[in-house]
Chain A
Amino acid sequence: MNGDSDIDSEVLLEKVREIEAAKRRDEPLDKENTASILREKRDLSEPVSDDEASKIMSRRSRRSFLIGGAAAVAGYLGYGWLRQPDNSYLYERMFRFNENVSQVFFESSDLAPEFSPELAGARVNGAIGLSEGFNADAWRLQVTGLSDPQQFPQYSDGISFAGKDGAPGSMDSPPAPNNSVPGLLFSLDEIKSLPQTEMTTELKCIEGWSIICNWTGVRFSDFAAQFFPVLQGNRAPKLQSLPENLSKYVSLITPDRGYYVGWDMQSILHPQTLLAYEMNGAPLKPEHGAPLRLVSTTKYGIKQIKRIGRIEFTDERPADYWAEQGYDWYSGH
Chain B
Amino acid sequence: MTKQLEKKHHLAVRWLHWVNFPLLAMMIWSGLLIYWANAIYSIRVFGYELFHFFPSWFYDALGIPFRLADGLLLHFFFMWLFAANGLAYIVYLIVSGEWRSIAPVPGSFKRAALVSLHDLHVIKKLPPQGKYNDAQRIAYTGVIFLGAASIVTGLAIYKPLQLAWLTWILGGYEWARWEHFWLMILFVLFFVVHVLQVALAGWSNFRSIITGYEAVKVEDNLPESVSPEGAKI
Partner pick for B130 among A33, A44, A98, CB 8 A cutoff:
A33
Evaluate contact between B226 and A31: CB separation under 8 angstroms. Answer: no
Q: Would you call A32 and B72 a contact (CB within 8 A)?
A: no
Most chain A beta-carbon contacts within 10 A, residue among B80, B160, B210, B211: B211
Task: Provide the bound-state CA to CA distance between A105 and B166, in Å.
Answer: 14
B215 contacts A33, C-beta separation under 8 Å: no
- A238 and B161 alpha carbons, distance in the complex (Å): 22
Within 8 A of B (CB), among A28-53: 30-50, 53
Q: In the docked arrangement, what's the CA distance between A326 and B76, Å?
A: 13
Q: Are B162 and A106 in contact (CB under 8 A)?
A: yes
Asked if B101 and A53 sit within 8 Å, CB to CB, the answer is: no
A206 at the interface (CB under 8 A from B): yes
Known contacts A54-B215, A68-B210, A102-B162; is-contact A47 B4 (Cβ 8 Å): yes
Q: Report yes or no: A209 in contact with B38, Cβ–Cβ below 8 A.
A: yes
Q: Number of B residues whose C-beta is below 8 Å from A?
A: 68
Least Cβ distance of A66 to chain B in Å? 10
Q: Is B122 among interface residues, defined by CB-CB distance under 8 A?
A: no
Known: A33-B225, A102-B159, A206-B72. A64 touches B210 (CB 8 A): yes
Q: Is the CB of A43 within 8 A of B160?
A: no
Contact check: which of A48, A71, A79, A95 meets B73 at CB < 8 Å? Answer: A95
Contact B76 A105 (CB under 8 A): no
Please report the C-alpha to C-alpha distance between residue A90 and residue B178 in the assembled complex, in whole angstroms: 30
Chain A residues closer than 8 Å to B97, beta-carbon distance: 41
Instruction: Report Cα–Cα, A193/B168, bound state, in Å.
Output: 35
Task: Point out the residues of chain B lying under 8 angstroms from A61, CB to CB.
Answer: 207, 210-211
List the B residue with the shortest CB-CB distance to A299.
B161
Q: In angstroms, how far is the closest chain A Cβ from the Cβ of B153?
A: 13
Contact across chains for A71 and B18 when beta carbons are under 8 A apart = yes
In the complex, what distance in Å separates the CA atom of A35 from the CA atom of B100?
Answer: 8
Q: Do A37 and B3 touch (CB < 8 A)?
A: no
> Are B2 and A47 within 8 A (Cβ)?
yes
In the complex, the answer to whether A208 meets B131 with C-beta atoms within 8 Å is no
User: Cα distance A91–B69 when bound, in Å?
Assistant: 11
User: A75 contacts which chain B residues (CB < 8 A)?
Assistant: 22
The listed residue (B6, B107, B161, B218) touching A110 by CB distance below 8 A is B161
Q: Contact check: which of B5, B76, B173, B223 meets A44 at CB < 8 Å? A: B5
Complex Cα–Cα for A107 and B38 (A) = 30
A210 within 8 A of B: yes
Instruction: Assess whether B62 is interfacial by the CB under 8 Å rule.
Output: no
Q: Is A112 an interface residue (CB 8 A)?
A: yes
A residues less than 8 Å from B76 (CB atoms): 94-95, 98, 328
Of B101, B174, B212, the contact of A60 (CB 8 Å cutoff): B212
* Assembly CA distance A63 to B11 (angstroms): 13
Contact call B212/A64, Cβ cutoff below 8 A: yes
Please tell me if the beta carbons of B5 and A53 are within 8 angstroms of each other in the complex.
yes
With a CB–CB cut-off of 8 A, which chain A residues contact B5?
A: 44-45, 48, 53, 56-57
Q: Assess the B173–A208 pair: CB atoms within 8 A.
A: no
| Cross-chain contact of A33 among B72, B164, B223 (Cβ < 8 A) | B223
Question: Nearest residue in B to A39 (C-beta to C-beta)?
Answer: B233
CB distance from B99 to the nearest CB of A (A): 8
Give residues of chain A (283-333) contacting chain B, Cβ–Cβ below 8 Å: 297-298, 322, 325-328, 332-333
Interface residue? B77 (CB, 8 A): yes
Contact indicator B215/A57 (Cβ below 8 Å): yes
Residue of A nearest to B97 (CB): A41
- Indicate whether A32 sits within 8 Å of B107 (C-beta atoms), given known contacts A111-B164, A326-B73: yes
- Judge whether B144 is part of the interface by a CB distance below 8 angstroms: no
Which of B1-25 touch A at CB < 8 Å? Answer: 1-7, 14, 18, 22
Structural contact, A327 and B211, CB atoms closer than 8 A: no
Max count, chain A CB within 10 A of own CB: residue among B35, B99, B108, B213: B213
Complex CA–CA separation, A36 to B63 (angstroms):
50
Report yes or no: A30 in contact with B225, Cβ–Cβ below 8 A.
yes
Contact A31 B106 (CB under 8 A): yes
Using A68-B210, A91-B73, A208-B177 as known contacts, say yes or no to A44 and B6 having CB atoms under 8 A apart: yes
Choice from A30, A56, A207 contacting B38 with Cβ under 8 Å: A207
Residue of A43, A79, A210 with highest tally of chain B CB at under 10 A: A43
The verdict on B83 contacting chain A, using a C-beta distance below 8 Å, is no
Q: Report how far A32 CA is from B128 CA in the complex, Å.
A: 7
Residues of A within 8 A of B108 (CB): 34
Is A248 positioned at the interface, with any CB of B under 8 Å from its CB? no
New A-B contacts (18) at CB < 8 Å, excluding given A42-B231, A65-B211, A208-B34: A34-B107, A34-B108, A34-B129, A34-B134, A40-B131, A42-B130, A42-B222, A44-B228, A45-B6, A49-B1, A56-B215, A61-B211, A63-B211, A102-B159, A112-B164, A326-B70, A332-B161, A333-B161
A-B contact pairs, 18 of them (CB 8 A): A30-B225, A33-B128, A33-B129, A34-B128, A35-B129, A42-B226, A44-B228, A45-B4, A49-B3, A57-B5, A65-B211, A94-B80, A95-B73, A105-B159, A111-B161, A202-B173, A209-B38, A326-B73
Give chain A's interface residues, CB within 8 Å of chain B. Answer: 30-50, 53-54, 56-57, 60-61, 63-65, 68, 71, 75, 79, 90-91, 94-95, 98, 102, 105-107, 110-113, 202, 204-210, 297-298, 322, 325-328, 332-333
